[in-house]
Chain A
Amino acid sequence: MWEYTDKVRKYFTDPVNVGEVEKPDGVGEVGSLACGDALRLTFKLDEQGKIADARFQTFGCASAIASSSALTEMIKGKTLEEAAQVTNRDIADFLGGLPPEKMHCSVMGEQALQAAIRNYQGLEPLPSEEGEVVCECFGVTDQEIERVARGNNLHSVEEITNYTKAGGGCGKCVDKIEALLAKIWSQPAPQAAAPAPAKKKLTNIQKMKLIEETLEREVRPALKADGGDIELIDIAGDVVQVSLRGRCAACAASQATLGQFVQTKLREFVSEDLIVEEVRP
C-alpha cells in the first residue's frame, strides 16, 4: 500500500484537465503500454504566447494520473519559457511529495512537457543526441540518467530506479548505472550536444551505409525504449524495407511508429526521398 498525500489522492480521484485540447499548439507523448505508464499532454497558447489550456491523458497508477493533472494546472498561464523551467521536483512538491518509488511519475510529467514544447518548436520529441541505452528493459539512456541524477541530486542506483525505472526490470544494468553515477559525480555538468550532421549527395553504397548507421544510432535506441527493435531487410532505390521485432511487432501503434518516426529520421539524416515499408516476418 502506497502512502499518498491527500493532494495526490485528490488529483487522482478528481483529476482536472482530462482529455485533449482541440487543435493543440503542442503535443507531447511519453511512456508506453509495455512500460506500464504513458502520458499524452496537449496545450494551446493564447495571443500573448501564454498557455491558455493544457490537458492530459494518462495510462498509469494513481501517482501518474495525479502528476499529469497537477502538471496541467501548473503550466496554465505560463509562457513557454516559464513552463520549460518546470521540473519533476516541482511537480512532486506541488503534490506535497510522492513516495520515493513513484518519483518516475513526476519525471514522466517533465518529459511530456519538454516533448510538447519541442513539438511546438517543430522539433523531434526527443533531443537527437539521446545517448546510449543503459537499461534495455525500460529503454533509459545514459544521458537521461545523468540529467535526472543531476536535477534531483541522486547518488544511488535505487534512487535512479525510483526516478527513471532504469535497473528496475531484469537488473542486468545495475552495475552499469553504478559506474555511470560514479562518473557523473566525478565530472562537471556536460555542454550542449553536438548538432546533427549535414546532408550531402550520396553514392548508393554511402546511402546504404548511412541508412544502416542512422537506424542504429537514431532509431534503434528509441524503439528499444518501447521494448522493441528494428531490422533492416532491404534497400531498393529509395524504398527501405524494415521489420519490427519484439514488443514493437506486437504494438498496435507500429504503423505510426514507422511512418512518423523511422521515415522522419531517415529523411532527416539520409535523404528526403526515402520511403519506409514494413515487412511482416
Chain B
Amino acid sequence: MSHQHVVYLDNNATTRTAPEVVAAMLPFFGEHYGNPSSMHTFGGAVKAHVDQARQQVADLLGCLAEEVIFTSCGTESDNAAIMSALRSFPHKRHIVTTRVEHPAVLNFCQDLAGRGYEVSFLPVDRQGNLDLDQAAEAIREDTAIVSVMWANNETGVIFPVTEIAQLARAKGALFHTDAVQAVGKVPTRLGETAIDLLSLSGHKLHTPKGVGVLYVRKGTPFVPYVMGGHQEHGRRAGTENVPYIVGLGRACQLAGERMVEENTRVKALRDRLEKGLLEVEATMVNGDPARRLPNTSSVSFEYVEGESILLMLSDLGICASSGSACTSGSLEPSHVLRAMGVPFTAAHGSIRFSLSYYTTQEEVDYVLKHMPPIIERLRKISPFWARHQARACATPGYVQP
C-alpha cells in the first residue's frame, strides 16, 4: 500500500461523502438553485425535492415525513430539542442526561445547570452501560426532558433508549436521544417507540458537513430554537440548505439499503481488527462487547500515550482517534472513559477505530500489520512498561486483558 493511501478508520468523527450523494446534490448548485419558498415555478419546483428528501429521512427513521425538521447539524438539533422542552414546560426545572453524552448535550446541560436548572447526570458502569433502575429513579415529576444518546461515539455502546423513553413518558417528561452515531447502524422505527425527539447528523452518514435533522414526534409541544421565517412549518427558520438536504435524503436511502451490510461485513471487519489488536500484550477493549455499534472499537494499549500512537499511525496514512488527554483538547483523558472508570494506564492509551461501509479487509490487515511494532516502539520508551513487566500488577480495578 502506498504512503499516500489513506486508511480512514475515523468514521465516528466524520465520513466520506458517498459518490451517489455528491451526484444527487450537484444539480442543486448551478442548475436548480431556486428558493423553495418562492412563488415562481423555478423555485417552487425545488420544494418537491426537499419534500422527497424529508420522506427519505422519515423512511430510514421509521417516522412520518412531517415529523422531520432539517437543521444545520447534530449540535443544533441537540440544543434545539432540550431548549424546546424547557420552554414548553417552564415550570419544570429539571433535566436528566448522562455523564457520557457528546459535548453537544453535555456542555449545553452544564451551561443550563449554571442558569438555575437542575441537571442529573446518570453514571455508567465499567462496561459503559446505564442502569435502568437508576434512570427510573432520576426522572421526577418536575423533569422537563430526559436526553440519553442512542449510542456512544467513543465506545459504540448502545443505550436502552426505548426503555428509558417509556420511563420518561410515565413521569410526563419528554425524551430526546442524540442518535448521531446510531442512525444507519441500528434500526430506529421511531413510530413504535416513546421517543419524542431525536437528533441526526448528515456528515456521519456520508453527507457533507452542514446538515442535520431533528425529529419531533407529532403532537409533541415544540418551541423553535432558530426563529425568523416560516420555513420547516415555522419550526426552524432560515432558507433551506437545499443541496445538502437533497444529499442527506439520498444518504438516508443508501443507509437503509446498507444497514444489513453494516451489521454483517463491516461488523466482521471490526471484529477482525479487534481480535488482531488484542493479541498485543496488555491491551483491552473499552465498552460492552455485547451491546455495541457494529463499526466501533475502542482499544486501550496500556502504558503508552494515545497521541504518540496516532502520530505514528498518521505517518502510515492510518486515521483514528484517541481518548487520551493530549488529544482531547483538555489536559484530562476522555470524559467517557473516566466515567466508565477505565484505569489511567489504559485511558491515556486508548485508540478509537471506527469503520464504515467503505472499509476493506486489506485496510484492516494493513493496520494489524503496523500496530504491534508501533506499540512495541513506544513501550520501549515508556518508563512504566519496564516496571509493568518487572512485576505482576497488583492495581485494584485492573482488568487483565
Contacts and interface: CB of A to CB of B under 8 A. Distances in A.
B394 A12 contact: no
A15 B393 contact: no
Interface in B288-331: 303-308, 311-312, 315, 324-327, 330-331
Contacts of A2: 307
Interface residues on A, range: 35 or more
Given A168-B330, A168-B332, A250-B395, A58 B382 contact: yes
A217 B333 CA distance: 29
B381 A57 contact: yes
A70 B217 CA distance: 60
Secondary structure dominating the interface of A: loop
B393 A252 contact: yes
Contacts of A65: 308, 381
Nearest to A162: B331
Interface in B145-194: none
A61 B324 contact: yes
Given A60-B326, A137-B332, A138-B331, A36 B305 contact: yes
Interface in A87-117: none
B305 A37 contact: yes
Contacts of A40: 383
Given A59-B303, A168-B332, A250 B343 contact: yes
A169 interface: yes
Nearest to B331: A168
A72 interface: no
Interface string A58-81: 111110110000000000000000
Contacts of B384: 33, 38, 59
A58 B331 contact: no
A251 interface: yes
Contact of B381 (A15, A33, A34, A168): A15
27 contacts: A18-B380, A33-B345, A33-B348, A36-B305, A36-B325, A36-B333, A36-B344, A36-B348, A37-B326, A39-B383, A57-B381, A58-B381, A58-B383, A59-B382, A59-B383, A60-B308, A61-B306, A64-B305, A65-B308, A137-B331, A161-B331, A165-B331, A168-B332, A247-B344, A250-B343, A250-B395, A252-B393
Interface of B: 303-308, 311-312, 315, 324-327, 330-333, 343-345, 348, 380-384, 386-388, 391, 393-397
